[in-house]
Structure 1
Amino acid sequence: MKLNLSNLRFMRTPRKSLISQTRTMTQYPDPVPDPSQVVDDLICSEQRDVQIRETVEAAPASLGSPSRVLSIDTRGEQAWAHWKKLGRPKYIVAPMVDNSELPFRLLCQKYGAQAAYTPMLHSRIFTETEKYRNQEFTTCKEDRPLFVQFCANDPDTLLEAAKRVEPYCDYVDINLGCPQRIARRGNYGAFLMDNLPLVKSLVEKLAQNLNVPVSCKIRIFPNLQDTLKYAKMLEDAGCSLLAVHGRTRDEKDGKKFRADWSAIKEVRNALRIPVLANGNVRCIEDVDNCIEETGVEGVLSAETLLENPAVFAGFRTAEWAADNEKEGFVDGGLDQGDLVVEYLKLCEKHPVPWRMIRSHVHKMLGEWFRVHPQVREQLNAQNILTFEFLYGLVDKLKELGGRVPLYKKKQIDTPNLQESPQSV
């Protein structure tokens, strides 16, 4: 059953099922673009670093202590009890604007993902706009454990949005890590690192008024001690789980800047609550190495999953297989065309805006499009998409030949995809 949030009204009205139907792309106020399409011109400066450090150092004294009966130790125990109840998931789909929606989450779940975040939702628009609620957040009973992520800069607005979704998720997450230009304009995400009193008030507001735990996703400061003070402040405010992206706000290019796993390890060692890591994941071995090096509970993947939603099942693209030829990889019996077909079937069952579908098709078929650019141009020229057209697109690529398989290690048995649990 798909959940329609437009009629929830703070959960006083029963849930209503949605009839599956084709949806057209809709523009909303303050649209949030695909981060990969945004180039931020923010330049790191020594003066800004000094200002950040002064803000962090002043925050604990100016903010005081949260008015809460439970001690930090008790809250830490509760945070761990909840995480263990969820099975301590290790392989997690990161929040991605327009790209971690329900059908994609379910596809990743079929191929090994154990938990997932929704795309970042704009808390103000979510509370004000029924169409935005209907199209931007959908879920189903199989879609768990689930983090619902909001960006916000007003505690009351954030709480109103969170109240609408808390019965259908395992955490309400606050986006404190978005580094893109739109976050700077809207004063949310990583740009709240300049206003830590506001950050603390956002966390406290949810922690004191929700029945589900609050989680946060952050980026690190250039200075490690600033990062540790920041993380401890969030824990003191009531954060029950912290996901740490190991890059600073100015390090937006994941191919240019490596995530700092050592900083993530220090955060993990400093806190009493579960910590997750984000950054430097290209294959399942990277996930395992990250957990071993940092001691975190789990690892988030974003860009790698967009190209290859089967990463957590041990599949990798030709690029990463070639980088490790000595380990020996074989055709895993799966390619991105197969994944696109599975994804489209899930979209027919759980409708989402066409802009999301178009984006995923481009990402998953990227290698084939480089071989057959004329097919990509046909997709770009198609203003109104249909499932018939997209299925035909995959068929055309297969007819043209040049199959682009995903690879697995020789010693890993390739599963029979027809017998896979949760198959479409």
Structure 2
Amino acid sequence: MKFTPRSPSSFSGFNSSLKHPIYFVLSSNIFPSFMATLSTQTDSHEDPDDRLCAATSGCSSLQQNCSSSSSSAALPMSSESPSPSSSLGSPARCLNGEWRIDRAWTHWKKLGQPKLMVAPMVDNSELPFRMLCRKYGAGAAYTPMLHSRIFSENEKYRTQEFTTCKEDRPLFVQFCANDPDILLEAARMVEPHCDYVDINLGCPQRIARRGNYGAFLMDNLPLIKSLVQKLADNLHVPVSCKIRIFSNLQDTITYARMLEDAGCSLLAVHGRTRDEKDGKKFRADWNAIKAVKGAVKIPVLANGNIRHMDDVHRCLEETGADGVLSAESLLENPALFAGFRTAEWVEADEESNIDGKLDQADLLVEYLKLCESYPVPWRIIRSHVHKMLGDWFRIHPQVREDLNAQSRLTFEFLYDMVNRLRELGTRIPLYVKGSHAGGPTENGVDTRN
């Protein structure tokens, strides 16, 4: 079914123009910020940072979106209705391993085999940030991690925490879960609007331990297998998984093969163990990722140690992976995939690094303008401001203090803050090698088959 755009007045909630993203009613409560979102349903004293930064034209329920019109982008959420976003056709419940692998590669190739990807980040890989990273070279992106149970239950969270638009593709929608039936219910809500439904098997935080999801499911491999099988047998879009490694390499390989056999069509491997939470303290093990790539037949993505494009090239070469994910480095520098790097990663004796005529304040302004088109809670914007301007605030801490003192943010205040930093003479450039500044491509990474 082809999606025919309508005006906001004629079809509230769905519009494929850049200024009107598709708003879905989906849900989660896995980190403290999500608690605030949920509490506003019964507490009239809403935290100002949980307000959306601009008005939306969202509708009251996902089911409305699914049944409003034949021109809608969504289809009824049943296992009998194919997704327009999928190249896989009917669910794979009767397919053997070789057929599933062929289908996995057919789908991946149809998406263009993107090499550079925005990793899933709670409260940080939301729509406007994804769109900014896509402008600067990201070929695909993950949503923030969404909690499958609350996703299927809580309308307010769904409205705020999952938004997308026509240009936001390829897109992975990531869930954490420990119940196959609940996971399937949530996944069916989004399958018409994404290219993969991803299962988070890598979150190492204490909240994941308490909730029994993420990397803590590594202690219950039969449950993990049932989660993957449930989606693979019933969805029309493929299932992907994002994992961490075991300390024992053979255990990691056995784990990866189990996921492939269960129906996983793409595997993202974070090259750190569950206990190695500090990315600055523990280097990701690219050799383990290479071993996984050699052990399975489905596409494999590498995660860890990606700070600039030299790391991208080295990782792809050393691991043989089909693409890379970056998280923390993108938060500081969303133009990383276009070849820009922060001063921290400019070698002192490397004369070829020059001012790229772009800085983090420029990127922040671009991000804020995207937020005006794609509204998100102010807490998310506040977080990105601190991540992008952290070095600037260290030079002028009074500006950071003024930001922190604002209980209610506005775009006017934030634009004025950027102007104030510039008037103070602050500019910390992003650098590029020679005159080869990147653009909205995959920046020299070979994307040929």
TM-score, normalised to structure 2, is: 0.79
Give the residue type in structure 2 aligned to 1:160. E
Whole-angstrom CA distance in 2 between matches of 1:414 and 1:90: 15
Matches within 5 A, 1:57-72: 68-72=93-97
Aligned to 2:101: 76
Aligned position for 2:204: 179
1:327-365 C-alpha deviation (Å, 9 max, x unpaired): 521100000000000000000000011111000010001
**Aligned-residue offset at 1:69:** 2.8
Correspondence 1:409 to 2:406: no
Distance change (3 Å), C-alpha of 1:137 and 1:30? closer
Of the three residues 382, 387, 390, the one matched with 2:414 is: 390
Per the alignment, residue 158 of structure 1 pairs with 183
Return the offset for 1:157: 0.6
Match of 2:303 among 278, 290, 303: 278
Cα offsets for 1:203-262 (capped at 9, x unmatched): 000000100000000000000000000000000000000000000000000000000000
1:175, 1:413 → 2: CA distance?
Answer: 34
Query: Following TM superposition, by how much is the alpha carbon of 1:173 offset from its aligned partner in structure 2, in angstroms?
Result: 0.1
What do the CA deviations read for 1:276-307 (whole angstroms, capped 9, x no partner)? Answer: 00000110110111000010000000000000
Matching of residue 110 in structure 1 with residue 135 in structure 2: yes
Tell me which moved more, 301-310 or 391-400.
391-400
**Structure 1: how far apart are the matches of 2:322 and 2:14?**
35
Post-superposition shift, 1:74? 1.4
Aligned residue among 114, 131, 135 for 1:89: 114
Q: Please give the alpha-carbon distance, in whole angstroms, between the structure 1 residues aligned to 2:97 and 2:234.
A: 17
Counterpart in the other structure of 1:64: none
Take 1:295 and 1:31, find their aligned partners in 2: how far apart are those partners?
A: 34
User: 2:339, 2:437 within 8 Å by CA — same for their partners in 1?
Assistant: no
Deviation string for 1:43-78 (max 9, x for gaps)? Answer: xxxxxxxxxxxxxxxxxxxxxxxx943221111111
**Residues of 1 paired with 2:356 and 2:312: CA distance?**
19
Number of paired residues?
367
Corresponding residue of 1:32: 31
Pairwise CA distance, 1:410:
1.1
1:413 Cα deviation (Å)? 4.6
The residue number in structure 1 matching 2:405 is 381
> Equivalent residue for 1:363?
387
After TM superposition, give the deviation of residue 325 of structure 1 in Å.
3.3
For 1:212, the aligned partner's letter is: V
Are the aligned partners of 1:277 and 1:300 in contact in 2 as well (CA < 8 Å)?
yes
Asked if structure 1 preserves the Cα contact closer than 8 Å seen for 2:28 and 2:151, the reply is no
Q: What aligned pairs does 1:287-302 form with structure 2 within 5 A after superposition? A: 287-302=312-327
Identify the match of residue 345 of structure 2 among 317, 320, 327: 320
Give 1:237's aligned residue: 262
3-state DSSP of counterpart to 2:375: coil
What residue number does 1:228 align with? Answer: 253
Amino acid at match of 1:17: F
Q: Secondary structure at the match of 1:325?
A: coil
Local SS of the residue matching 1:232: helix
Q: Which residue of 1 aligns with 2:293?
A: 268
Query: Residues 263-286 of structure 1: CA distance to partner in whole angstroms, max 9, x if unpaired?
Result: 000000000100000000110110
Q: Decide whether aligned partners of structure 1 residues 78 and 415 sit closer, same or farther in structure 2, where only a CA change above 3 A counts.
A: closer
User: 2:339·2:438 contact (CA, 8 Å) conserved in 1?
Assistant: no
Deviating more after overlay: 406-415 vs 154-163: 406-415
1:190 and 1:409 mapped to 2: Cα distance?
38
Matched, 1:124 2:121: no
Residue identity in the other structure for 1:317: T
Q: Distance in 2 between matches of 1:131 and 1:384?
A: 21
Deviation at 1:412, TM superposition (A): 1.3
For residues 409 and 310 of structure 2, the distance between their equivalents in structure 1, rounded to whole angstroms, comes to: 37
Q: Aligned partners of 2:240, 2:30: CA distance in 1, in Å?
A: 24
Q: TM-score with structure 1 length normalisation?
A: 0.83
Contact 1:73 1:272 in 2 (8 A): no
Q: Sequence identity of aligned pairs in percent?
A: 73
Of 358, 364, 369 in structure 2, the residue corresponding to residue 345 of structure 1 is 369
The question of whether the paired residues in 2 share the 8 Å contact of 1:308 and 1:317 is answered with: yes
Shift, 1:17, TM fit: 3.1
- Specify the alignment match of 2:14 in structure 1: 17
Q: Which runs of 5+ in 2 are unaligned?
A: 6-10, 21-26, 34-91, 441-449
For structure 1, list consecutive stretches of 5 or more residues without a partner in the other structure: 4-13, 22-27, 35-66, 417-424
Q: Which residue of 1 aligns with 2:378?
A: 354
Per-residue deviation, residues 58-116 of structure 1 (Å, max 9, x unmatched): xxxxxxxxx94322111111101100100000000000000000000000000000000
Q: 1:237 to 1:292 in 2, by over 3 A?
A: same
Mapped contact 2:28–2:149 kept (Cα < 8 A) = no
Counterpart of 2:336 in structure 1 is 311
CA separation of 1:415 and 1:228: change in aligned 2, threshold 3 A: closer
- Secondary structure at the aligned position of 1:343 is classed as helix
Instruction: Kindly state the Cα deviation for residue 160 of structure 1 after the two structures are TM-superposed.
Output: 0.6
Among 195, 199, 210, the residue aligned to 2:220: 195
Letter aligned with residue 407 of structure 1: Y
2:423 equivalent in structure 1:
399
How far is 1:117 from its partner?
0.2
Distance, in Å, in 2 between the alignment partners of 1:149 and 1:178 is 12
Alignment of 1:251-266 (within 5 A): 251-266=276-291
In structure 1, the partner of 2:88 is none
